């Protein structure tokens, strides 16, 4: 019986090994590609991501906790909502109301369903942002809030307190019906003056009941606030308005917030002195900008002049004119020397703001001017000015940072990268990269196996030849 060729026996496992390796590698590549392709698996990861927005200076609360000023277990949620303004021509702003003692709280108004407004919000507000595709629920839920400012006129200085309104514009930017809650924080010296449907949460926070909104609904509401006659001693004054939207599905939540400034005219009124300041505006680049302030001697005699600039947290003076020096991180004092009668001194400062402060804008700064004549009493005025930033009106940054390591290395090490925030095109490209890396690895394995097989066959042939010659 002829003997079986030993080389054939040795070649069979050698030939089958590359095929097994090929099958294993292709299986792994197919699994990785399917795992990275857009589908229900990636959509589920987006539900755990917090909403991007203009954060408050203290940062956004973690998911699942109530934002600052939201209802707590100690303060039950009101059952009413603040009344909304009717659609149609935008009403003119109501003048501040000088008041005496604080009146009782107004009875809650019936629930009002939001209706789309036919007029845009105040001219300074940005147009509504498009729904963020990387918000929880894959862009299903979205909300936007814009605010006016609390602006007082000269009548403020003659009253023990003044009641005025803060205008709030809310927009459902999502694709589903939402329940929208409103909360706001007032600065020291301001209190709620009986806004229907709103209740205090302790400290300087208030919260209101829920609106039921349809996709695209946009409406205005007015918050009544009382400004104390001594609030000017706390300048600068700024507050925050927050909205939280909840969709029909689990985890469908979005938030947005915006600051507002409390703007007081120069005062208390005193003859012989004038004070003024321009609005501070940070452009989209977020770099330093200018602040211009003016102190005028409108009296009949020369006087020594001094100006002090007070800025909110996160905003600071980088440089000022000669004679200016910082007295604290947020205050700068300038000695102007003798200011002749009828003369106005203009000061120009370079100011900077942190990203958090710019996102929290609008904010307020304060200016104090003082004249000290040689033979008479000193004269002093205070006022506030507005600080705005383009960053506060920009669309929120969506998604998560891309991995900085090699994509092939990440896949090989089994790192659980969060791909839910990437676009379908990027996920497809990543899948192709991983597949290419696996194919290159497969080619190396096949080439190595082929080389080893040839070496083994050559050694076997040489051994068989030697055996025959020796026999």
Percent of the chain with pLDDT over 90: 49
Contact status, residue 180 vs residue 245, Cβ threshold 8 Å: yes
Q: Identify the residue with better confidence: 91 or 346.
A: 346
Contact status, residue 298 vs residue 356, Cβ threshold 8 Å: no
* Sign of the CA dihedral running 246, 64, 186, 282: negative
Contact status, residue 244 vs residue 138, Cβ threshold 8 Å: no
446 confidence band (pLDDT: 50, 70, 90): confident
Q: What is the DSSP string of 83-97?
A: PBPPSSSPPPPPPPE
| Locus of tokens 């007070």 | 310
**What's the CA gap between 255 and 244, in Å, rounded?**
5
Q: What is the pLDDT of residues 254-302, one digit of tens each?
A: 999 999 999 999 999 999 999 999 999 999 999 999 999 999 999 999 9
The token duo for 380 is 């002093």
Q: What is the pLDDT of residues 209-254, one digit of tens each?
A: 889 999 999 999 999 999 999 999 999 999 999 999 999 888 789 9
The rounded mean pLDDT for the chain is 73
**What's the CA gap between 343 and 299, in Å, rounded?**
9
pLDDT at residue 91 greater than cutoff 60: no
DSSP 394: S
First to last CA, the chain: 19
Regarding pTM above 0.85, the answer is: no
Q: Identify the three-state secondary structure at position 340.
A: coil
The token duo for 84 is 């909304």
Q: Identify the residue with better confidence: 112 or 362.
A: 362
Task: Identify the pLDDT of residue 94.
Answer: 43
Mean of the pLDDT values across residues 1-8?
A: 48
Closest to 385 (Cα-Cα) out of 285, 290, 265, 220: 265
Task: Identify the pLDDT of residue 450.
Answer: 77
Length of the chain: 471
Closest to 365 (Cα-Cα) out of 285, 448, 280, 467: 280
**What's the CA gap between 353 and 362, in Å, rounded?**
12
Cis peptide bond N-terminal to 268, omega within 30: yes
Closest to 357 (Cα-Cα) out of 450, 236, 254: 236
Contact status, residue 147 vs residue 166, Cβ threshold 8 Å: yes
Q: Identify the three-state secondary structure at position 283.
A: coil
pLDDT at residue 194 greater than cutoff 50: yes
427 confidence band (pLDDT: 50, 70, 90): low
Scored b (16 or more CB within 10 A) or e, 59-78 reads: ebbeeeeebbbbbeeeeeeb
């Amino acid at each position: 019986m002829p003997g079986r060729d030993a080389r054939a026996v040795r070649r069979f496992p050698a030939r089958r090994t590359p095929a097994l390796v090929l099958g294993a590698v292709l299986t792994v590549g197919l699994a990785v590609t399917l795992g990275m392709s857009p589908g229900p698996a990636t959509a589920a990861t987006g539900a755990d991501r917090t909403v991007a927005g203009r954060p408050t200076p203290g940062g956004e609360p973690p998911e699942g906790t109530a934002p600052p000023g939201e209802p707590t277990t100690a303060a039950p949620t009101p059952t009413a909502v603040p009344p909304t303004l009717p659609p149609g021509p935008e009403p003119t702003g109501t003048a501040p109301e000088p008041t005496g003692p604080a009146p009782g709280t107004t009875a809650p108004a019936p629930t009002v369903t939001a209706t789309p407004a036919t007029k845009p919000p105040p001219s300074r507000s940005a147009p509504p942002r498009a729904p963020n595709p990387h918000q929880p629920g894959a862009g299903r839920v979205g909300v936007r809030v814009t605010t006016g400012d609390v602006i007082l006129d000269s009548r403020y200085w003659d009253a023990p307190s003044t009641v005025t309104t803060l205008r709030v514009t809310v927009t459902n930017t999502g694709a589903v019906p939402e329940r929208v809650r409103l909360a706001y924080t007032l600065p020291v010296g301001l209190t709620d003056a009986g806004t229907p449907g709103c209740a205090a949460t302790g400290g300087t926070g208030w919260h209101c009941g829920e609106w039921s909104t349809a996709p695209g609904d946009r409406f205005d509401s007015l918050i009544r606030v009382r400004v104390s006659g001594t609030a000017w001693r706390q300048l600068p004054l700024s507050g925050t308005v927050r909205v939280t939207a909840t969709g029909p599905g689990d985890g469908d939540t979005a938030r947005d917030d915006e600051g507002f400034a409390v703007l007081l005219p120069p005062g208390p009124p005193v003859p012989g002195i004038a004070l003024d300041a321009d609005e501070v505006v940070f452009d989209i680049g977020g770099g330093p900008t200018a602040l211009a302030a003016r102190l005028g001697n409108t009296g009949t005699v020369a006087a020594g002049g001094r100006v002090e600039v007070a800025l909110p947290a996160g905003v600071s003076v980088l440089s000022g004119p000669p004679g200016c020096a910082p007295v604290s991180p947020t205050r700068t004092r300038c000695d102007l020397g003798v200011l002749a009668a009828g003369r106005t001194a203009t000061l120009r400062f370079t100011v900077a703001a942190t990203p958090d402060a710019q996102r929290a804008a609008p904010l307020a700064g304060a200016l104090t001017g003082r004249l000290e004549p040689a033979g008479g009493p000193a004269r002093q005025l205070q006022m506030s000015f507005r600080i705005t930033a383009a960053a506060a009106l920009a669309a929120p940054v969506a998604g998560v940072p891309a991995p900085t390591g090699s994509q092939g290395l990440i896949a090989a090490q089994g790192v659980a990268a969060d791909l839910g925030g990437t676009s379908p095109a990027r996920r497809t490209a990543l899948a192709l990269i991983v597949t290419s890396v696996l194919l290159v690895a497969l080619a190396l394995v096949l080439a190595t196996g082929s080389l080893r097989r040839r070496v083994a066959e050559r050694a076997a042939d040489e051994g068989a030849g030697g055996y025959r010659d020796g026999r």
